[in-house]
């Protein structure tokens, strides 16, 4: 059942209060509901006074009973939906899809998941090409190997690199998908969409930066500092026992034991991380 209520909503710009129809739950009995979600027509209102259009900060449950999935959006808290889910679990059991909606704080993420579930493809999203030279270029803060961080998911990685990878849990925080080609992709364990947020390359992958740093031609943290600036200290990765120099969008990994004994600028870079 769709649930709609009248609420007095203040305009964030001019503070005028107006009566607006607000949805707390919607389903596929509403005509063109997918379009309405994707076009920002649900819980987006226009101020009658100043014309400002804004999203009302409230929870929204979308139940697609035909395809048997449920998604929940709330900009700040999942407290309410978690309570509701507990109640419905008592009634319907854990297996019922409506008792386990996928939850989002970010409206764009919510919409992306609707698109994914509905099989709607955006043609302005990058399309993978077969292995080409451009894939070897490391772009700090963006990606390498045809995978864009914070955009592509584990599924995109598998589409491109196949199923032959080793999966390792990094504490209870993330998973590493490690490929023999010399590249690893990381996503967070609590991310239901498994979006890649970090990529690491080893020499075998033959990647290089725009500035000509290439893991197959030894270069040191001194070379890095000449391009990216001098760093006072290195970070240490607890999971791999590696030391690394972290810059905006890119990190350079060195051997931890060597880092204990050698001056920083002489350390040879072994791997590069993109984040």
Q: Smallest gap, in angstroms, from Cβ of residue 20 to Zn ion?
A: 12
Q: Does 20 bind Zn ion (CB under 5 A)?
A: no
Which DSSP string do the residues of 180-231 spell out, in sequence order? TTTEEEEEETT-TT-BEEEEEE-GGG--EETT--BTTS--BHHHHHHHH---
A 10 A CB-CB count for 147 gives 22
> Near Zn ion by CB under 5 A, which window of 42-50, 88-96, 147-155, 224-232?
42-50
Shortest gap between Cβ of 10 and Zn ion (angstroms)? 8
Shortest CB 42 distance to Zn ion, Å: 20
CA torsion 195→42→12→82, rounded to 10°? -60
Closer to Zn ion by Cβ: residue 51 or 229: 51
Separation CA 210–CA 193 (nearest Å): 31
CB of 268 to Zn ion, least distance (A): 60
Closest CA to 223 of 260, 144, 242, 215: 215
Radius of gyration of the chain (CA): 24
Per-residue contact track with Zn ion, 43 to 72, x per CB under 5 A?
Answer: ----x-xx-x--------------------
User: Which of 50, 86 has the CB closer to Zn ion?
Assistant: 50
How near is the Cβ of 44 to Zn ion at its closest, in Å? 14
Residue closer to Zn ion, measured from CB, 47 or 245: 47
Quick check: 14 binds Zn ion (CB under 5 A)?
yes
Our finding on whether 174 is near Zn ion (CB under 5 A) is no
Torsion of Cα atoms, 93 then 96 then 97 then 98, to 10°: -70
Stretch that binds Zn ion, among 12-20, 125-133, 182-190, 264-272 (CB under 5 A): 12-20
Q: What is the DSSP letter of 99?
A: G
Shortest Cβ 13–Zn ion spacing (Å) = 5
Q: Of the candidates 73, 75, 103, 98, which has an alpha carbon nearest to the alpha carbon of residue 87? A: 98
Positions that interact with Zn ion (CB under 5 A) = 11, 13-14, 16, 47, 49-50, 52
């Amino acid at each position: 059942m769709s649930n709609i209520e009248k609420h007095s909503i203040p305009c964030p710009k001019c503070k005028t209060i107006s009566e607006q129809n607000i949805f707390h739950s919607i389903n596929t009995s509403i005509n063109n509901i997918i379009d309405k979600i994707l076009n920002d027509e649900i819980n987006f209102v226009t101020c009658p006074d100043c014309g400002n259009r804004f999203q009302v900060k409230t929870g929204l449950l979308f139940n697609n009973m035909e395809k048997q999935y449920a998604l929940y959006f709330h900009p700040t808290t999942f407290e309410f939906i978690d309570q509701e889910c507990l109640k419905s679990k008592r009634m319907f059991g854990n297996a019922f899809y409506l008792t386990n909606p996928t939850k989002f704080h970010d409206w764009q993420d919510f919409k992306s998941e609707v698109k994914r579930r509905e099989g709607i493809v955006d043609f302005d999203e990058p399309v993978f090409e077969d292995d080409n030279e451009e894939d070897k270029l490391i772009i700090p803060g963006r990606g390498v190997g045809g995978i864009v961080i914070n955009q592509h998911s584990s599924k995109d990685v598998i589409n491109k690199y196949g199923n032959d990878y080793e999966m390792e849990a990094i504490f209870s925080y993330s998973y590493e998908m490690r490929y023999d080609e010399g590249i690893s992709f990381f996503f967070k364990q609590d991310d239901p969409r498994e979006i890649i947020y970090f990529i690491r390359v080893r020499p075998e992958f033959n990647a290089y930066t725009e500035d000509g740093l290439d893991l197959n031609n030894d270069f040191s943290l001194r070379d890095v500092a000449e391009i990216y600036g001098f760093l006072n200290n290195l970070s240490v990765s607890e999971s791999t026992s590696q030391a690394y120099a972290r810059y905006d969008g890119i990190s350079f990994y060195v051997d931890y034991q060597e880092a204990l004994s050698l001056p920083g600028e002489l350390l040879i870079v072994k791997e590069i991380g993109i984040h």
